Amino acid sequence: MGDDGAPGLDQLPHHLLQRILQLGDFEAADLASLEASCYTFRAATGLGPIRFKSMTENTALQACQSDSLFKRLPHSLQSQLAIRCNGNWKMVLRYLKAFQQAVTGVTTYDGKVQVVAGKYLTLFIDSRGSLYGCGSNKFGVLGQELSVSECRIPVCIQVPVPVLQVSASSHHVALVSRNGEVYTYGDNSSNCLGHGEIGGQLFQPRLVETLKNIPCKQVSTGLMFTAALTREGEVYTWGSSSNGQLGHGDMVDQSRPVRIEALVDAGHVIQVATGPSFTFALLDCGKLYSVGGGNNYCLGHGDFSNDAHPREVLFFDEQKVFVSYVAAGDEHAVAIDSSGYVYTWGKGYCGPLGHGNEEDQVIPKLVEKLRDVRAVQVSARRRKTFVVTDTSELYGFGWMGLGSLGLENRGTSEKILEPELVPGLRVAQVSTGNYHTVATSPEGYLKGIGDSGTSQLNFSEKFLFNTHLL
């Protein structure tokens, strides 16, 4: 009994306490604190499918079972993830929550935020869905006239609706609104903006009319082309198809979005990622497809040839690997599986594959140095790779010129051939450009790494919390 005669926690029915925990939507750390501080929460309850587990373990297990990634996994892979987390369901829950935050945006007390590094610029989406940017305005990618060469502080880019997600190449920008509309702006070379044969540049985001009644949830920008993923799991592409990267079975450019029919037959797509001249499509069943330029072995099929037809990366299926996330660099690619292992393939020059050498990899290969960490996100760009773990650590490898890996100067060597921990950072999400990188902490604070020669890192750590002042 409590001091006032009311029953204590230990006298409340276990099923009632369990229900309270479930409704509370607690983080894994909260459940661990309850378990550590109160015997009632760490004692075996006899409740749930695993009767020897504590009340907080049962709560964590049930939360895992409602997670979108976990529900897609076969039972054997669910068990494998649990084993990777030492059989601790609170650790599994932490992993799944960290994965969702890295993929969908960092949740702050004010809402979700996202930061994206373009080639020479940085774009920010605040909790209200407003879009800001700083850095190079070449081709009008910051929504300014060409007379403005760079924006030395973040400027608000005028979008008529709240923004959900954004992607930037060196030439153009594509974004998805919260209601599923797609907007593009920048240079329209090869008609990569999707507005038809208009030519020139657009300095303000314009609605892509072809997709007006087709709600989308993600966009990805290649060098001269664009891909959009619909809420129904279909992929539309447009722009240059010089290497077959549009996935329509030919090398014909498209001035407006066209659906990739081969992927409709393959299954439900949950993510797209584009390199300069190639495209990845990740299915909800964990299969990965690639199409386009095979230069540098980026397609992962074991050869150097281009392919205009989407083809499954068979390595993962043969090894029974369920891919959960993929990133496309300029000359290499990176993927995470459902247990948090990292795989790389493509051009090995400068070490962005993380295998301790500069050899090319024609098919995906497990990064052994990261075997003991659980990755939740990867980002790749020019000859470098970053990996975020479920414990908010950041690893980098590849070319570290201009400080772009955030590691200490190594004198004459600018090549990091194996993953190294970037010191002094807690990271929930990372995005890398050509020579700069932006990391977001679990609380939504920002950290810029590398070169800021075009003002792409000219923002404050608390920028996303201060946008209402701009």
Which of 87, 104, 121 is a domain's end point? 104
The phi-psi region of residue 302 (left if phi > 0; otherwise alpha if psi is between -120 and 50; otherwise beta) is left
pLDDT at 366: 98
Find the CATH number of the domain harbouring 339. Answer: 2.130.10.30
Indicate if 335 and 244 belong to the same structural domain. yes
Which of 104, 122, 141 is a domain's end point? 104
pLDDT per 10-residue tile (average), the chain, 470 residues: 53 54 64 60 52 70 92 97 94 96 88 93 96 96 94 96 96 97 94 89 96 98 97 98 97 97 97 98 98 96 95 98 98 98 98 98 98 98 96 96 85 85 95 95 93 94 69
- Give me the sheet containing 436-440, strands edge to edge: 429-432, 436-440, 446-450
Angle between the N-to-C axes of helices 75-84 and 89-104, in degrees from 0 to 180, rounded to the nearest 10? 100
- Is the residue at 406 inside a domain? yes
* Domain total of the chain: 2
- 171: closest CA among 240, 256, 235? 240
Angle between the N-to-C axes of helices 55-65 and 28-37, in degrees from 0 to 180, rounded to the nearest 10? 170
Phi (first) and psi of residue 465, to 5 degrees: -95, -5
The most distant pair of C-alpha atoms in the chain lies apart, rounded to whole Å, by 79
Indicate if 164 and 311 belong to the same structural domain. yes
Indicate if 184 and 281 belong to the same structural domain. yes
pLDDT at 30: 65
pLDDT at 12: 46
- 327: closest CA among 180, 432, 435? 432
Indicate if 86 and 112 belong to the same structural domain. no
Indicate if 30 and 125 belong to the same structural domain. no
Query: 0.85 exceeded by the pTM?
Result: yes
Token code pair at residue 225: 């082309």
- Is the residue at 7 inside a domain? no
- Is the residue at 295 inside a domain? yes
Contact indicator for 130, 156 with CB cutoff of 8 Å: yes
Structural domain harbouring 63? 13-38+47-104
Token code pair at residue 464: 């996303």
- 442: Cβ contacts below 8 Å, ≥ 6 apart: 101, 106, 392, 426, 427, 428
Indicate if 429 and 370 belong to the same structural domain. yes
Indicate if 203 and 138 belong to the same structural domain. yes
Token code pair at residue 423: 């010191």
CA dist 372 and 391 (Å) reads 12
Which of 59, 77, 104 is a domain's end point? 104
pLDDT at 404: 87
- Is the residue at 8 inside a domain? no
- 193: closest CA among 252, 139, 137, 156? 139
CA dist 131 and 136 (Å) reads 16
Indicate if 293 and 436 belong to the same structural domain. yes
Indicate if 95 and 182 belong to the same structural domain. no
- 404: closest CA among 357, 439, 441, 445? 439
pLDDT at 50: 47
Indicate if 98 and 174 belong to the same structural domain. no
